Amino acid sequence: MKSKKNSDILKVGIAQIAPVWLNRDKTVAKIENYINQAADEGCQLVVFGEALVPGYPFWVERTNGARFNSPIQKEIHAHYLDQAVQIESDHLKPLCDAASKNQIAVYVGTIERPMDRGGHSLYCSLIYIDSKGIIQSVHRKLMPTYEERLVWSIGDGQGLQVHQLGAFTLGGLNCWENWMPLSRTALYALGEDLHIAVWPGSKRSTFDITKFIAKESRSYVISVSGLMRKGDISKDLPHAEEIINNSQDFLANGGSCLAGPDGEWVIEPVVEEERLLIAEIDHRQVRAERQNFDPAGHYARPDVTRLIVNHERQTILSTVNEGDQ
C-alpha cells in the first residue's frame, strides 16, 4: 500500500478507454485493470468516462431509434437493462475492492438500474468511490441529451455533492450537464476546486468547455472521455450488423484533457487512442487564481442572486406504517 502525503500536490490519472461494449462484467474487469495501473503510477485519483459501464447507447441514431414500438429498439433495450449496473447487487464491488486495495479514489460513469425507481429504468450515473472503497455519491444525470432521452431517465439533485481528497474538493457532472450554469454553480458553492467532466467521447465537446469551466471557476478541470471504434461492436450483440453498417470508424474519438485554474492546458485533448494520462496538480495554483475571482465567494452577491438546490432522492413511493398515522 502507498502512503499518501498531506500536501497540495495531487497525482491524477485520466483513463481514456473503450468499454467492452454492452458487457458489464468484462467492462468492469477492464476498468479494474486501469485502476491498478493508475495506482502503480502513484495516482491518488483515477477517472473514467460517461456511461462506460456497460457503454453509451450508440445504437439509437444508427437503428432508427425514434420509431415508436420498434421491435429492434425493444430487443436492444432489454439487453441494455440486463447489462446495466445495479449497485444493490454489488456489480461494482470489484471496483470498490480495487480502490480500497490501492488506496485510490475513482470516478466512473455507469448506466444504473436502481431499485429505488423500480429496477426497470435506466439512469446515466456518475459514481464516486473513495480510497477506502466506499461509494460516496451516485449522481444521476439531470437531463439526458437528445436521443439519450429515448433510453435514459431524468435524474435528480441527490448526487450534486463534493468530496475531499487531500487539499482538493472534487465534484463532477455528466456530459452536457457541464453546460448547465446552475448545476456548475451548485458545485462551486460547495467548495469544488477540482471539477470532473465525463463524456462519451468527442474532442468537439471537450475542447472549448474544459478551459471555459476552468477559467470561470478558477479550478482544475478534468474532462475524461470514452473511446468507441467500429471494431468494439461485438457481432454477438442484438442487431450488431445494422449498427456496424451504419457506423464510421470512430463512434467516439476521445478528447480527454486537463485544464488549470488559469484556463491553460495541463494536458491538451488526446484523440483516437486508448491511454492512461497522468498529471500532478497543485492546489496552490487554485488559491492563487481565486485572489481576483471566486464565483461562490468574494465575487458572489447572495443578497442579490442565490441558488436553491433540491438534494432529495426522487421516488414515487413513500410508505407510511399504520402505527405512524
Q: Which of 11, 30, 43, 50 is catalytic?
A: 50
C-alpha cell recorded at residue 264: 491553460
In three state form, how does the secondary structure of 192-204 look? CCEEEEEECCCHH
- Please identify which residue in the block is written with the cell numbers 432529495: 312
Half-sphere exposure of 109 (CA within 13 A, CB side): 31
Backbone angles phi, psi at 225, to 5 degrees: -115, 155
Distances (CA, A) of 191 to 162, 188, 284, 312: 8, 5, 15, 20
Q: Which of 43, 96, 124, 175 is catalytic?
A: 175
Active site residue 96: no
Euclidean distance between CA atoms 222 and 253, whole angstroms: 17
Euclidean distance between CA atoms 231 and 214, whole angstroms: 35
Q: Are strands 9-16 and 275-282 parallel, antiparallel or unpaired?
A: antiparallel
Q: Helix, strand, coil proportions of the chain in percent (round to 5)?
A: 30, 25, 45
Looking at the DSSP bridge assignments, the partners of residue 123 are 112
Distance of CA 120 to the CA centre of its chain: 21
Looking at the DSSP bridge assignments, the partners of residue 138 are 127
Instruction: Let me know the angle formed at the C-alpha of 283 by 278 and 288, rounded to the nearest 5 degrees.
Output: 130
Active site residue 50: yes
Active site residue 215: no
Q: Which of 30, 141, 203, 211 is catalytic?
A: 141
Catalytic residues: 50, 141, 175
